[in-house]
């Protein structure tokens, strides 16, 4: 059977929109189904794997960092990259210009730097492509 692959273009920054959660769910399920996944993170989405993110306590509820178990997108991306290390593969490319604009180069291991030319190549070679734009 022909190997299937899905390319996603993401644009939303973390903690702004439910789009990020849905995108991470799609990636997770696709890997579970044995589908190779390419992600091209553009604009604010390059901050999804930003290493400097840290979980926080919730002073309103009076909970500690440990009690709050605040999920970070960098942790989700790291986990997905670990799952998609050997096959099915997850390739995550951050747009280099978007990274430089935002000073967002300190990302979790496994994230690559690229350009829209990478997105074009990934889309051309994939079974399908889904673009999740900002509103």
Partner 1 sequence: MTRYVFIESRDPFESCDTKFIEETAIAVKERGHDVTVFLVQNGVLAARQNTGRLGRLAEAGVTLLADNFSLRERGIKSEELAHGIQESGISKLVEAIVQEHTKAIWH
**65, containing H or E segment:** helix 65-68
Q: Which stretch binds partner 1 (CB under 8 A): 16-24, 51-59, 76-84, 96-104?
A: 16-24
Binding mask 106-135 for partner 1 (x = CB under 8 A): ---------------------xxxxxxx-x
Q: Is the dihedral of CA 69, 75, 80, 86 positive or negative?
A: negative
111-114 β-sheet, strand order? 111-114, 90-95, 36-41, 5-10, 128-132
Reading the block at residue 24, the tokens are: 């991470």
Angle at 86 between CA 46 and CA 31, to 5 degrees: 65
Is the Cβ of residue 18 or residue 117 nearer to partner 1 in the bound state? 18
Least distance to partner 1, CB of residue 125, Å: 14
Closest to partner 1 by CB, 106 or 128: 128
Asked if 35 is part of the footprint of partner 1 (rule: CB under 8 A), the reply reads: yes
Binding residues for partner 1 (CB under 8 A): 4-6, 18-19, 22, 25-26, 29-30, 32-33, 35, 127-133, 135
């Amino acid at each position: 059977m022909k190997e299937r692959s899905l390319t996603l273009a993401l644009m939303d920054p973390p903690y702004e929109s439910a789009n990020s959660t849905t995108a991470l769910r799609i990636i997770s399920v696709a890997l579970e189904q044995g589908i190779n996944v390419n992600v091209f993170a553009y604009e604010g989405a390059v901050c999804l794997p930003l290493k400097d993110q840290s979980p926080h306590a919730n002073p309103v509820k009076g909970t500690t960092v440990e009690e709050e178990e605040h999920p970070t997108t960098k942790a989700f991306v790291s986990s997905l990259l670990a799952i998609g290390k050997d096959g099915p593969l997850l390739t995550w490319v951050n747009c280099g210009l978007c990274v430089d604009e935002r000073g967002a180069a300190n990302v979790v291991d496994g994230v690559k730097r690229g350009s829209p030319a990478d997105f074009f190549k990934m889309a051309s070679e994939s079974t399908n492509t889904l673009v999740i734009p900002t509103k």
